[in-house]
């Protein structure tokens, strides 16, 4: 009884650590160089990705362009063979959002090895394999670092992840959670996660034989598109980095240095 009382007095964080350790769920966080608690096994992550992928492909239909599908899969598998995580099978698909009134210039990944690129972004990149490789490698990096699992675990909790991974999505509650989780993964990650994924994108592109300058060109293209969007003021607490910051970091990764434009384009912490 005394042992039980002492256990109850432990802090919730310590209890979580004990539970995670007993469940063999402590993973090495490659993005921060430290251990991070992840309550889902690799098998569970794969099941989660498989379950969510079914919802994705109901909402966004894979494009009928077979040449585009083959090209993305070929580049994706080449990159996956050089990435730091080979304990899962990777899947790459081009999808369409027919309901969006504007072009969807986006790509995203699901836990467990699923990478999707919207046809609008695919068409925007044209025939440049280096740029397409950079986009795909960036999404592979999120999977390698388990950014999606950690984000969903934080937002929804372990029990909800188990429900989503069970493929029991027949009731409206689970369907709603699945779409909420997908929308979360389609939006921006934290500043640190995005910059780290850019860094790995350069690494994987190089190893797979693509020109890593493609990562710079892609971000510059996205920046040109963003310039036509409403202006936003830089806030230090905001989670997603301005593209100018990402461009400067990628340039440093590719060339080993930043140029003058990189320095003047980085917003100050005060927003001035």
Tell me the whole-structure pTM to 2 decimals: 0.79
Residue 27 parent element (H or E): strand 26-29
**pLDDT by residue (tens digit) across 60-103?**
999 999 999 999 999 999 999 999 999 999 999 999 998 888 89
**pLDDT by residue (tens digit) across 173-225?**
556 667 777 877 887 688 889 999 999 999 999 999 999 999 999 999 988 88
**pLDDT by residue (tens digit) across 107-154?**
999 999 999 999 999 999 999 999 999 999 999 999 999 998 888 877
Task: Decide: 148 and 190 in contact? Cβ < 8 Å.
Answer: no
Give the chain's largest Cα–Cα span.
69
Domain boundaries, the chain: 41-265
Burial class (CB in 10 A: 0-12, 13-18, 19+), 227: exposed
């Amino acid at each position: 009884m005394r042992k039980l009382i002492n256990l109850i007095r432990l802090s919730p964080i310590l209890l979580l650590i004990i539970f995670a350790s007993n469940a063999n769920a402590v993973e090495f966080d490659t993005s921060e160089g430290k251990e991070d608690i992840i309550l889902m096994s690799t098998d569970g992550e794969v099941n989660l990705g498989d379950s969510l992928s079914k919802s994705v492909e109901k909402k966004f239909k894979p494009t009928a362009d077979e040449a585009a599908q083959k090209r993305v899969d070929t580049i994706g598998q080449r990159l996956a063979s050089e990435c730091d995580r080979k304990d899962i099978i990777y899947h790459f698909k081009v999808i369409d959002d027919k309901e969006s009134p504007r072009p969807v210039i986006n790509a995203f990944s699901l836990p467990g090895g699923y990478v999707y690129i919207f046809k609008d972004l695919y068409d925007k990149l044209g025939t440049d394999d280096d740029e397409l490789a950079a986009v795909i490698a960036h999404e592979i990096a999120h999977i390698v670092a388990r950014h999606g699992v950690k984000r969903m675990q934080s937002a929804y909790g372990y029990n909800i992840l188990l429900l989503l991974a069970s493929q029991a999505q027949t009731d409206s509650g689970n369907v709603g959670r699945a779409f909420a989780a997908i929308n979360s993964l389609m939006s921006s990650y934290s500043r640190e996660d995005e910059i780290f994924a850019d860094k790995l994108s350069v690494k994987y592109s190089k190893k797979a034989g693509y020109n890593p300058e493609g990562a710079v060109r892609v971000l510059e293209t996205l920046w040109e598109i963003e310039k036509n969007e409403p202006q936003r003021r830089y806030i230090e607490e905001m989670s997603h980095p301005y593209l100018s910051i990402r461009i400067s970091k990628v340039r440093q990764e590719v060339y080993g240095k930043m140029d003058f434009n990189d320095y003047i384009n980085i917003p100050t912490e005060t927003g001035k």
